[in-house]
Amino acid sequence: MKRFLNLILWLSSMNVLAVHGQSVTTHVKDLDSIIKQTELTLKLNE
């Protein structure tokens, strides 16, 4: 029974990790977009 519970906990942890990994990727892409937009704005203002 204990092994079964450990397996369930491990699977739940992997699910949480996967969701957080996707969130981080989205935030990194958003930051990259903001940086590129800022660089473009600065170049246009020169």
pLDDT in tens, 23-41: 888 888 899 999 999 988 8
Using pLDDT thresholds of 50, 70 and 90, give the confidence band for residue 45. confident
- For residues 21 and 41, give the distance between their C-alpha atoms in angstroms, rounded to a whole number: 30
Which residue in the block uniquely carries the two structure tokens 């977009």?
A: 33
Question: Can you tell me the mean pLDDT for 6-22?
Answer: 89
Question: Can you tell me the mean pLDDT for 15-28?
Answer: 86
What is the reported pLDDT for 19?
A: 86
What is the reported pLDDT for 23?
A: 86
What's the whole-model pTM score?
Answer: 0.54
Copy the structure tokens of residue 35.
């940086």
